Structures are given as C-alpha cells and as structure tokens.
Structure 1
Amino acid sequence: MFRFEEPTYLYLLLLLPLLAAFYLYSNFRRRKAIRKFGDPVLMAQLMPDVSKYRPDVKFWLVFAAIGLFAVLLARPQFGSKLETVKRQGVEVMIALDISNSMLAQDVQPSRLEKAKRLVAQLVDRMENDKVGMIVFAGDAFTQLPITSDYISAKMFLESINPSLISKQGTAIGAAINLATRSFTPQEGVGRSVIVITDGENHEGGAVEAAKAAAEKGIQVNVLGVGMPDGAPIPVEGTNDFRRDREGNVVVTRLNEQMCQEIAQAGDGIYVRVDNSNAAQKAITQEINKMAKADVETQVYTEFNEQFQAVAWIILLLLLAEMLILERKNPLFRNIHLFKKEERYDDEK
C-alpha cells in the first residue's frame, strides 16, 4: 500500500508546467535573436564550442529534481513495520452485556447501542492506555485481547450483537473472572474492569468475582444501562415484543442494587447510563485516577517512510546537472555520433 503523509505539497507540481513553458519561451526568444544576427547554420559554425543540446539536458535534469523535491516534501510512505514504543498508561478490560434484554429501548436508541457508543467514546479518549473487550450473555468470551490498537477496538465494537452468543442469560461473574485473567503481567500498572450491563444476573457469583478481582488490585467498575421502570424487549425484524410462556410481554428492568453491590465489592464505582454523557465522564475520571506505568507496546505501523530513495535520486540529478557543461568538451569536438558521414563519388 502506498500513500503520501503530506499530500498538500503535491500542489507544487502545478508549477512545473509554468516553469517548462517559461523555458521553452525563452529558447524561442533566444533563437529569434540569433536569426537577427545572421543565418543560424553560419552562426553555429562561428561558435563551435557552444552545445545545442546540453542546456536543454541541464534544464530538464533540474526540472525533474524540482518535481521530485515536491514529492519528497509530501512524504511518500510504503510498506509496513513493527515498532516497540514505551507508553505511560493503564489497562482496561471492558465486559459488555449482549443478552437479549440489552435490546430494550428505555435508553435511546437501545441499551446495547447506547453502551456501544459509550465504549467508543471511552476509546476515543484513550491515548497511552491498553484496552480489551469481553462480551457476555449466558457465557463470556474475549472479543478483543488487550491491546493499544484503538482502531481494531472500534472495529470489533461495531460487529457486536446478541447473536454472537447463543446461550442466553447474564453471566456477570464469568465475565469478571475472564477479564481478570486477561491483563498483562506487567507490574505497577493500574488495571480496571468496566462491566456494562442492565444488572439482570441469572448465573450468580458476580459479587464474589468482583471481590476476588479487587484482592488482586484490579478495580471493578459497573455501568448500569437502562431504567428501573424497565421496558419490553423488542423482537428483531417484527413489531412485537418478547413474551413469557403465558403470553405476557416480558419487561426487563435495570437492577441497580445488583450493580451497586458488584461495584462495591470490586472497590469501584457504579454509574447509571442514561441519555446524557454523564456516565462516560464519570468513568473517564475514575480511570484517570489510576496508577500509570511505562508499558512497552508493539505498535504496527502500516506505512513506512520512503523519502530516502527520492532524496538519493534528487542528489544524483543535481550532480549530473553540475557535471554537464554548457560548452562542448574540446577533446570530443570532432566526434559526431549522430552525424552521417558524407561520401563523395568522384566517378562521373
């Protein structure tokens, strides 16, 4: 893949046609002035050391060098490389509830979509931190291992939906345990698990998992999505709602008590996610309070600078222009590579 990091400088190439037009016009004026003094063939014989082609060669060499200099300023990039950089930050594992209850629309546009937008905002505000992602319903699995590649994090986030896990339920404890095992072994870095859920825990063990994480120095924060009054769960592709075995519409409610207990056991905070940005600001402030440490990170750089090759070509062109003299070399005056030999036939 190839690109220019600073493509604005390529507009300098628009000056090249003007430069060429000016040079051709000056040549025309020069030839016109020579014709005023006499026949051009005779004038050429009177000036045997003046080269007809060398000035043109010198100009076009400089012309090419100027064009390549504009390309150089635009910073051509090609290929890829892997860099090791040191960053000072924290590690955050996001555990996102994708059970069917997260489709409820008591928070607009839905609990799940609101949660995904909140995660995207959190990632956008990260600079030197590492982030990973776990999704859970009746079971939990890693959607994205902990990384500093924020572009990949947002890409994976877009693909999240309840169909990723066939087993329904809300296994918050399993998600916290998986997140606890997902951090790097680096010492001295702040670690946080952010659980985003409506709190309808059907599997148990969530409070115990949060407490175990806190004992390892991992903070567990909980963002509760939804409203205590609850809302029905829409059936995708229809205008109907999910119903129980008796045919009654199922109403899912935010279990704030459960969310608060998990956050308290995990030495973290609980924040309700509503239709404002208050939750995102609160959790960002909490992350910023955590201890930050230097972390060595392998960063994949998709584009690698290629200006060195262009610079060498420019240097060679300019050296060639300097070495070419405008006058003919006396040593080669009588050598005519492109002139046909004249033959005279003495026979009548």
Structure 2
Amino acid sequence: MVKLKKLLNRFNKKCLKALILLISVALLAYGIYPSHAQVTHLKVEASTTLLKAGFINNITLTIFNDFENVYELYASLSFPSSIQTPNAPTVLGASYWKFEKIARNSKVEIPVAIFVPDNAAGNAYTANLALTYKRLGYISTYTEIHSLGFYAKGWIDIILYDLTVDPNPAYPGHTISFTANILNKGNVPAMFTNVSILKNDLLLFNSESSSYLGQLDPSSPAPFTLEAVVNRTVKEGNYTAIIIVSYEDNEHELHMVYYKTQFEIIKLTGETQAKPKSVISYVADYLFSKWFLIVLVAGLILSIGYAVFKFKRKPSEGT
C-alpha cells in the first residue's frame, strides 16, 4: 500500500507539470499570454539625445520593424516627472500617433516638438514611448515600453555693449583704454571668464591688458577696462583692436568669442603737444593755485601803503 501511494503521488506531480506546460503552450499559440512581457520586437531611435534648455526642440523618433507585419500601432510619448527630476520637458502638440500597418523591414518616423524650461539645464530626463499593436493571427494586443534618455543642455551667449575707446583718436607712445560691459544672455553661468586684447604690433601690452572676471552668471552685467600703449612706430590712420572673451561652460568646454572695435591714431602736433614750462611759469602756477588769496591780500596792503606814503609826502614838499 505504501508503494502504491508513492506511485500515485509521482503520477499526480507529473500530470500537474504536464498540464501547466500544455496551458502555457496554448496561451502562447492563441496570443493571450500577458502582453506586458519585457520582450520587445520593435526598435526605437531618437534623432538626438541633447535638448536645448529654454527652447522648443524639434526631434524625430524612428520606429524600426524587423520583426513581422504589425497592425494598428499606437504610439504615445511622455516625460514622467518626480521629485528627483523636476521641471521635466513637455511634449507640445500631438503626443499620440496611430499607424494602420508597419510592414516587416520598414520604419516610420514621428516628428515631435519638446519644450525644455530654462531651469532644466544640466539635468537628465527619461521619456517613455509606449507602443501597442496587433499581430496577424493573434487575438490580444502587444505593448512595448521603450525608454529614451535625454540631456537638457544649457547655453551661454556672451555680448559686449557700451564699448568705448579713450582717447579716440589716440597718440603713439600714449596709453589707450577699452571700456565695456559684458553680459551673459544664456541660462547657465560662464565659468573662468577672461577678457583680453588680441596681441599685435599695434599695441604694447602691460598688466592691464587682460582682466579675469571669473564666474559670469546669467543676466548679471559686469564692467571691465583694458589698457595698452600705442606703439611709437605706428603711422596715422584708422585701426582695429580685437577683444577676446574666453570662458568654460558647465561641461568644462572652452569657448572663445572675438569682438572688434575701431579707433583712430594721429601724431601729436604743436597744438596738441604740451609745451615745456619755465621755472617762472611753474612758480606762478603754484602761487596762483595754492597762495592766490595770500598774494591778493599782500598786493592790496602794498597798494594801500604806497598810496598813504604818497599822500603824506605831498604837504612836506609844498612847505
């Protein structure tokens, strides 16, 4: 009896396993197996993974079908938002598309407009493209979820304004200065910002020919002044100086921007050149600038004394 029970138990276990296997095969054959399995038959690619923060980005999603003919394909794109990924991009316009058929070894392209806010710069985001379709000979639909990674890239736009040259015209052998305001119109800081004059034979550089500004935040203008000495051998005429702005973005990539400014050089003439002063001129300038009141009072006293002296002298001469 004990042996008979063991045989029945073994037989029941084998039957149960066989039954489970037959049910699984039947479900697969009729296409009613759970459609959310992780197996994906279609491939999806994005034309770019970089999105420019602060702009509407037009990209293209391509669905490749190297599986078999699929029918009634529905595609839906979304950017899930969470505490870890705030300020997520937004799909503008249509975010849901339908295709009646995608033949085997063919593809379809979906144009998508995505807006990325300024404060999303520097963050990575994941978009989910859900694909639901039918297969010939199967009852249920299949669903595939494709995750697409995107990076929101910030941007920097450096401009100079109110650029002035002093003096203009300038003179050979004399100092010339370039003053301006610099502004970052982008949405991420420009790091290690430096401004300088491009080296040439026209201007002789000194310690004031370059200026380190450091971090230049968006919408925060900063003034600067650069100086150089005009070469004595330069002839008269109109010339161009080039100001270089160098900085690094938030991905540590070096950028350089060039700005041109015009100015004139003329020779010093007898009218423009200062004449040498004599010792008497220096003394007179000093007295009149520092001791003007004292000289004036002394002059008045002397004049009054002399008048009194002349007045007293006349009666004595008459006697």
- Report the TM range for the smaller structure's normalisation: under 0.3
The normalised TM-score by structure 1 is 0.19
Structure (1 or 2) with the larger CA radius of gyration: 2
Using structure 2 for the length normalisation, give the TM-score: 0.20
Which gives a bigger RCO, structure 1 or 2 (Cα 8 Å, sep 6+)? 1
Give the helix-richer structure, 1 or 2.
1
Higher strand share: 2
